[in-house]
Amino acid sequence: MTSSATTLKGQPLDKGVLESMLRRRMFFAPSFDIYGGVAGLYDYGPPGCALQANIIDIWRKHFVLEEDMLEVDCTVMTPHDVLKTSGHVDKFADWMCKDPKNGDILRADHFVEDVLEARLKGDKEARGQKVEDKEEDPKRKKKKAKGTEAVKLEDAVVKEYEEILAQIDNYNGEQLGELIKKYDLRNPATGVQPEPPVAFNLMFQTAIGPSGNLAGYLRPETAQGQFLNFAKLLEYNAGNMPFASASIGKSYRNEIAPRGGLLRVREFLMAEIEHFVDPAGHKKHERFHEVADIELALLDRNVQLSGQTTVTKMTIGEAVKQKIVDNETLGYFLARIHLFLQKIGIDQSKIRFRQHMSNEMAHYACDCWDAELLTSSGWVECVGCADRSAYDLTVHAKRTGAPLVVRETLETPEIVEKWEPEINSKKFGPTFRKDAKTVEAAILALPQEELAKLAEELKTNGKIVVDVPGVGDGKVEVSKDLLAIEWKKHTINIREYTPNVIEPSFGIGRILYSLLEHNYWVREGDEARGVISFPPAVAPVKVLIVPISSKAEFAPHVRRLSQKLRSVGISSRVDDSSASIGRRYARNDELGTPFGLTIDFQTLQDGTFTLRERDSTRQVRAEEEKIVDAIKALVEGSKTWQDVESELPIFEGQELEIRPAEN
Ligand SMILES: Nc1ncnc2c1ncn2[C@@H]1O[C@H](COP(=O)(O)OP(=O)(O)OP(=O)(O)O)[C@@H](O)[C@H]1O
């Protein structure tokens, strides 16, 4: 099926053809295929793995190395307590609704979106307008078919639908339920209205150890491991702020309705950064000036609320100045994300940064911008960049008593008067036993107004009741022999604060798939063949070595060239099959291999080789050393193909004819 999406060369993108090519070339394929597969689980084949490794390699250099980030590798298996404290057990959920007729489980926001889009499409058809299709999972397409009749809608209704769609991520379950009722939205598969939406937690639950007593989950993000290691990382960083940690690893989400191939899966690779910053400095960033002039396509919250999706192009410097983007650190990372996506070969005209609306934000976030990439499935969030404020460190510190704070020596000491709780540790421990630390942490975390109130109560009643989640019924009585709360004057030499966190979070699978779509095109000829124009740095294999014939005298050249390329860290593959050279190149164009080295009869005489560039199919001819140097420079990005053509003799060969009978 042809969608409104286009290839790199502006041709209509045939997603079916692209997907079958990706499977044939083993970029990725459904896991457990021969058992019928499981929705949302995929395996990567050799080119998929190499592509992923190259993206990760560039990511590490671009972020971890460039900014001296502290990389950690934490476990996937996470105890219940951690994710209860972080809020994921209670709030990490999507809304789902059930079709009472056939039991279909629908993700409520996607269901509302699909039915309204189908109605708008029907309206356009009825008005004789051109209809642009969004690529869909074929199963969903079939179900949708009944709902896409060409029916003209009133203009006011069209406007209402468009306004709802522009802010579809902003509705909660109740509001989605109201929309389903108000517009009588029915499951196209049965013609029945689904039941009201209910929350479905996306985490996979498990039990750790044989007793089954320690409940746990597969992590839904890598972030929590980084937060829990904050104090150790700060110490490792010699107490210096700001700093960032980073982590690359698998995360798991039990998505209600996986769709769009790699775009919504249940197991995926994430690369996440937690940048810890002092909130007192307006989250300024000392390298912001380096990116201030970078222009981004921004779609802010207010534009979406007005029912529009038009982006504004603006430098990040201007966006922060106008407070469209809240602070320099958030802005710095948006620009750095843009540069990273550009570096790996994402189409610049297919990136936008969309701000989350207030209801859409995750429970921990106070501002969030997504880097969205345009694909045949529409705009897809590929990187989330959230300001998580001090949320995570605060809740974990409160729960465990661990000091997840920064202590800074003040140049000029401050005199401070405040309420201060004093624990009688001799009695406190024996009274509360295993809960003593938790109760103490809850008391120490109480705000000043609360302490003032409790001091009075302690004086009058001889005891107070403190909220301590997770201990008994959450209410703990503390008597005055265990605790005193007094107004004290202090000289402060140390300032203590909980850092705020800016978190860029990358879904590598979504980026990888978008990259494939953005770089794919079709070379017209006797037989149209797919090409993926990856930049050399991300291409799974950099060089294809093709001996013109399988005669023994070519073998030493093949071996030597492979070895030489290996020694300079460049991956190559040999294709010594009997197919024509043109056919062999065409096969590797599908894998996105940027350069081809041919060993022909002239090589045997004068030791020269031809080097072919994938996109132009142009060739140069030179001795081994010059060719290997050229490849190295091209892969490292220090030379372009034009540079190479200006330095080495052009070769006009006939190798590219493709004989249709072969494969
Ligand atoms: N089910 C998934 N499959 C593949 N990648 C995902 C999935 N869920 C999240 N990601 C990736 O992880 C990144 C960070 O996760 P985040 O929690 O911000 O996503 P999200 O807002 O829940 O995504 P969505 O709204 O699309 O479900 C996303 O930008 C995306 O690239």
Query: pLDDT tens-digit profile of 430-443?
Result: 999 999 988 998 99
Give yes or no: residues 441 and 378 share one domain.
no
Q: Ligand 1, from 510, 511, 512, 514: best to mutate by most atoms within 8 Å of Cβ?
A: 510
Mean pLDDT over the full length of the chain = 91
Q: Cβ(264) to ligand 1 under 6 A?
A: yes
Q: Which residue has the higher pLDDT, 1 or 397?
A: 397
Which CATH number characterizes residue 136's domain? 3.30.40.230
Average the pLDDT over 115-120 and give the result.
93
Q: Cβ(595) to ligand 1 under 6 A?
A: no
Confidence (pLDDT) at 213: 87
Average the pLDDT over 187-209 and give the result.
95
Query: What percent of the chain has a predicted confidence (pLDDT) above 90?
Result: 78
Strands 205-208 and 214-218: antiparallel
Here the ipTM equals: 0.98
Q: Which of 98-112, 161-175, 206-220, 447-461 bottoms out in mean pLDDT, i.e. has the lowest?
A: 161-175
> How far does CA 617 lie from the centroid of its chain?
34
Give yes or no: residues 488 and 552 share one domain.
no
Q: Which residues contact 197 (CB under 8 A, 6 or more apart)?
A: 95, 96, 97, 108, 173, 174, 176, 177, 180
Does 620 reside within a domain?
yes
Angle, helices 15-24/508-519, rounded to nearest 10 degrees: 110
Q: Whose CA is nearest to atom 19 of ligand 1?
A: 384
pLDDT in tens, 461-491: 999 999 998 888 889 999 999 999 999 998 8
Q: Cβ(505) to ligand 1 under 6 A?
A: yes
pLDDT in tens, 27-72: 999 999 999 999 999 999 999 999 999 999 999 999 999 999 999 9
Q: Cβ(260) to ligand 1 under 6 A?
A: no
Does 410 reside within a domain?
no
Give yes or no: residues 289 and 215 share one domain.
yes
Q: Cβ distance 574 to 593 under 8 Å?
A: no
For residues 362 and 356, give the distance between their C-alpha atoms in angstroms, rounded to a whole number.
9
Centre of ligand 1 to C-alpha 265, Å, is 9
Q: Which residues contact 82 (CB under 8 A, 6 or more apart)?
A: 224, 228, 396
Whether pLDDT at 146 is above 70: no
Does 420 reside within a domain?
yes
Give yes or no: residues 213 and 255 share one domain.
yes
Average the pLDDT over 316-344 and give the result.
96
pLDDT in tens, 389-406: 999 999 999 999 999 999
Give yes or no: residues 581 and 458 share one domain.
no
Give yes or no: residues 387 and 259 share one domain.
yes
Single residue among 478, 493, 508 that ends a domain in this structure = 493
Q: Cβ(384) to ligand 1 under 6 A?
A: yes
Give yes or no: residues 559 and 615 share one domain.
yes
Single residue among 201, 226, 243 that ends a domain in this structure = 201
Atom of ligand 1 nearest to the CA of 381: 29
Q: Ligand 1, from 113, 352, 381, 513: best to mutate by most atoms within 8 Å of Cβ?
A: 381
135 confidence band (pLDDT: 50, 70, 90): very low
Does 305 reside within a domain?
yes
Split into its structural domains, the chain has a count of: 4
Atom of ligand 1 nearest to the CA of 371: 29
pTM (two decimals)? 0.85
Give yes or no: residues 276 and 376 share one domain.
yes
Q: Which residue has the tokens 């190259």?
A: 54
Atom of ligand 1 nearest to the CA of 505: 14
Give yes or no: residues 345 and 488 share one domain.
no
Which CATH number characterizes residue 243's domain? 3.30.930.10
pLDDT in tens, 411-432: 888 888 999 999 998 999 999 9
Residue type for position 252: Y
Q: Which of 62-76, 335-349, 545-559 bottoms out in mean pLDDT, i.e. has the lowest?
A: 545-559
Q: Cβ(255) to ligand 1 under 6 A?
A: yes
Does 115 reside within a domain?
yes
Q: Cβ(173) to ligand 1 under 6 A?
A: no
Does 160 reside within a domain?
yes
Q: Ligand 1, from 337, 505, 508: best to mutate by most atoms within 8 Å of Cβ?
A: 505
Whether pLDDT at 308 is above 90: no
Confidence (pLDDT) at 518: 97
Give yes or no: residues 319 and 383 share one domain.
yes
Q: Cβ distance 492 to 410 under 8 Å?
A: yes
For residues 631 and 432, give the distance between their C-alpha atoms in angstroms, rounded to a whole number.
69
Smallest CA-to-CA distance from 538 within 582, 508, 559, 504 is with 508
Single residue among 170, 201, 232 that ends a domain in this structure = 201
Atom of ligand 1 nearest to the CA of 169: 25
Q: Residue 136: which domain range?
A: 93-201
